[in-house]
Structure 1
Amino acid sequence: MRTPDMLPGYEPSEALPDAQIAALLRGEQLVPPSDPPPLAFTTQEVEQVRPMLVNASRNWGLMHPDFNQRLLLAFKIMKEKYGYEMALLEGYRSPARQDMLAQMGGAVTNARAFQSWHQYGLAADCAFWRDGKLVISEKDPWAMRGYQLYGEVAEQLGLTWGGRWKMMDLGHTELRLRGVMRR
């Protein structure tokens, strides 16, 4: 579990979530699904779309508890209402990994260390799990429909969806808590 001293500049009293969502999330505490097998992150398709994903953190315990529960609720809704099984590709990202990904160029990320919500455990990249494989490609019509639904669900839960950005990141969601990241 992440502790406040692990989040530079984070003050819980300054980062209160929406009261209605917080009340809902205090009830049932959702549990993360099982991770896909490690080999699922090494396929050619996965490597093309998300380079170096095999080394990414999928440790739910390193993400902020409020973000965790919202993301897990999104996963639950996607499965129960729409039939999409979700998979966490990457949650918390170390500053060193963020800089390494930034060095790969704008097609991967423009954000350097501490310019991304991943370093604060407040962002995640997700995709779909179908027939024993990760489905990330936006060229797959089934996945594209899933990303649109995922974006709607995530936004209803108070998350920011990367599908609305100029450089779209359809599987990305983040929780922008006040007082966490200095811009």
Structure 2
Amino acid sequence: MAFISVERAGGKNVLAFLDMIAFSEIGPQILAASDDGYNVLVGSTPSHIMTFKSYADHPNIDNRAMNSDAAGRYQIMHRWWPHYKALLRLPDFGPLSQDLYAIRQFEEQRAMPHILAGEFEKAVACCRNIWASLPGAGYGQHENRLERLANAFTQAGGVIA
């Protein structure tokens, strides 16, 4: 479950969309076996979960097998982190900072109006260039089916129009 409050996030659908992204990127087993995904490193599997220890800053740990340094609940790439950390005045890489980062991505991708309105498919389409696990992302990685993600969204309390 997202760390940010429903009020600060902007509504229940925003919280549910955050949870759906984490479900898509990390999966329910790893979410349950970690700090709800906030401390997970890219390349983790349910049988081999890799985590980082400090939320002081993005861990910037390169997984050569994955050719990525993504980390956290929303699998944030280090190359983008310094910009958003400064822009949003984030104090660390903790759960609230990660949530605020992801919400900023929703806003920049023009997904927020769709999320708030329950236009789930449109919101996912807006965000698929950010998160490789979303359907239609086209990064050559595993993409989840829209129906599976819609179920995760509604299970998290989201409402689809």
Shared topology, TM-score over 0.5? Answer: no
User: In proportion to residue count, which structure has more strand?
Assistant: 1
Return the TM-score normalized by structure 2: 0.31
Greater CA radius of gyration, 1 or 2?
Answer: 1
Return the TM-score normalized by structure 1: 0.29
